[in-house]
Structure 1
Amino acid sequence: MTTESAVTTCFRHPKVESHVRCTRCDRYICPSCMREAAVGHQCVECVQEGARSVRQARTAFGGRISTVPLVTYVLIGLNVLAYLAEMARPSVEDRFDMLGTVPAGYYPEGVAHGEWYRLLTGAFLHLTPAEGTFGIAHILMNMLALWNVGRVVEAQLGRVRYLALYLLSALGGSVLVLLIAPETPTVGASGAIFGLGAAYYVMGRRLGYDMRAVNQYMGGLLLWLVLSAWVTSWQGHLGGLLAGGVVTLAYAYAPRDGRRVLIQAGACVALLVLLLVLTWVKVADLTGGAAA
């Protein structure tokens, strides 16, 4: 009496004979399906499942760790593209700068007349050389600041939180311009960058940075805030600084448990709602006054 020896084959390739088992699921695997593991070999499916189950490293603020400041690159690129568009067609600035309203007797335009997009588009525009000696320096200084501080903040917050911080800071700057100086056309990323500066300060306090360097940076930022009263828009700078500080405080001091994401997102949404309500109230006041 004779017995035939059982032939084992790869579970993914039934025609390929195999004598090696996956150390995780115990199924037979052929050489093309083997993946080296800490002990023995694993199949492709088990390796993929293991990768999904591994908890990704997070920063102190809950963001995913990334070595590439992608959002900072994109923001700089958008600012540069907008600047090139301004150079090619100067009317772009007049069409998209931050403007609340115009004096009585002029063609109605601005946020008060339905152009709410100006609250954000103005933050991606800058003065051009045709508008004075400060023209090219305006975008160069802002992009240099965005590059230096943005990379640090993005690395700590992660891309989603960082983008929310940037946009809310830009919006905060525009809203304060609308509230205080609605007839003043305003352009520049400075409001958002002041928000990043506030974030850098709050993060430094939270993480125990060498505060001498942080305080020196903040001192320069506050000095520029004062000088901007004669040069650019101090309202936009102050609005961005306040908005960025509020958002980062929520990021930094939210409890590190399952509620953290909800609290951080809730703070961003609450600030957004507040800014939109303030805009609506001011618009109603401006249009009501014009109608009178």
Structure 2
Amino acid sequence: MDCLERARTDWQRRRPTPRSQFGAVIRPGQRPVVTFTVIGLCIAVYALQLFSDAVTASLWYAPLQTSAWAFEPWRMLTSALVHSPSNAMHLLFNMFAIWFVGRALEPALGRARYGALLLLSALGGSVAVLFLTPAMTPTLGASGAVFGLFGALFILMRATGSQTGGILTLIAINVVISFVIPGISWQGHFGGLVTGAICALLLSKVPGGRSPDAQKNARRRSLWQGLGLLGVAILLIALTAVGMQFVNPYA
């Protein structure tokens, strides 16, 4: 029996770890921890906003805050955590979208890739705001990250051969809303959408490798995916450095 147990243990160790098409380890009953954490953070920050306007003012982002007049680049990310205190629907829509899409994307990508996708999409939205929004116009909300999830979902569905009509319709409706309803930052939506799509392209197009060792292939794929996402981050930071030179509060 001991020999059989050892043989079974050795076989289990050598057996390839089941992974999704995009490299995430598949675990039965896995919870979307990153999705729930982001939703929890946004709700907690919103509760603080209701008690003090200073919370909103200290976390939102305007191009002036990455310029020669002020340099607070962390706002490009913290702005994704705050929502309009006077409009609860702003928070509810974004949280519902993150919950709805995140439950599908997080298990498929894995927590690290999914978390990077959210962060980069939020940053990409702020970079678009930097270039396309007046210097003193504040923006806030997780919409850039949400549109990044929309763009990523479209690309990943295409990669798996799934029907994309539904997500295209959803994106089209939200794009129209971005331009029709006053006070919505279409710039942040655009930047998030493009960034999310680019990240998803990198995650889906990286080859898995041809080695007979499945674990080695998985490590190589994860390395190239990580380098690709790092490249997107560097590009966004470089664009920020360029864009801040053109901020003019007197325009």
Give the TM-score band, short-chain normalised: 0.7 to 0.9
Aligned-partner residue type, residue 189 of structure 1: A
Which has the greater radius of gyration? 1
Aligned partners of 1:204 and 1:214 also within 8 Å: no
1 CA distance for matches of 2:111 and 2:151?
A: 17
2 CA distance for matches of 1:75 and 1:171?
A: 15
1:116 counterpart = 2:77? no
Alignment equivalent of 1:198, drawn from 140, 145, 151: 151
2 CA distance for matches of 1:215 and 1:235?
A: 19
Partner residue, 2:232: 271
1 CA distance for matches of 2:73 and 2:13?
A: 42
Task: Name the SS for the 1:277 alignment partner.
Answer: helix
Gaps of at least 5 residues in structure 2 are 210-216
2 CA distance for matches of 1:226 and 1:52?
A: 54
Q: Quick one: structure 1 residues 51 and 99, their matched pair in 2 at CA, closer, same or farther if it must change by over 3 Å?
A: farther
Aligned-partner residue type, residue 237 of structure 2: L
Aligned partners of 1:201 and 1:218 also within 8 Å: no
Instruction: Report the Cα offset of residue 42 of structure 1.
Output: 4.7
Relative contact order higher in (CA < 8 Å, ≥ 6 apart): 2
Higher helix share: 2
Partner residue, 2:84: 127
Alignment equivalent of 1:89, drawn from 52, 75, 92: 52
Partner residue, 1:104: none
Partner residue, 2:26: 65
Partner residue, 1:260: 221
Aligned partners of 2:84 and 2:90 also within 8 Å: yes
2 CA distance for matches of 1:80 and 1:262?
A: 34
1:75 counterpart = 2:24? no
1:220 counterpart = 2:177? no
Aligned partners of 2:150 and 2:167 also within 8 Å: no
Q: Please identify runs of 4+ aligned residues in structure 1 that moved more than 6 A.
A: none
- How does 1:137-286 map onto structure 2 within 5 Å? 137-181=89-133, 182-227=135-180, 230-257=182-209, 258=217, 259-286=220-247
Instruction: Report the Cα offset of residue 285 of structure 1.
Output: 3.5
Q: What is the aligned-residue RMSD (CA, Å)?
A: 2.2
Instruction: Report the Cα offset of residue 215 of structure 1.
Output: 2.8
The number of equivalent residue pairs is 236
Partner residue, 2:213: none
2 CA distance for matches of 1:115 and 1:50?
A: 54
Aligned-partner residue type, residue 237 of structure 1: H
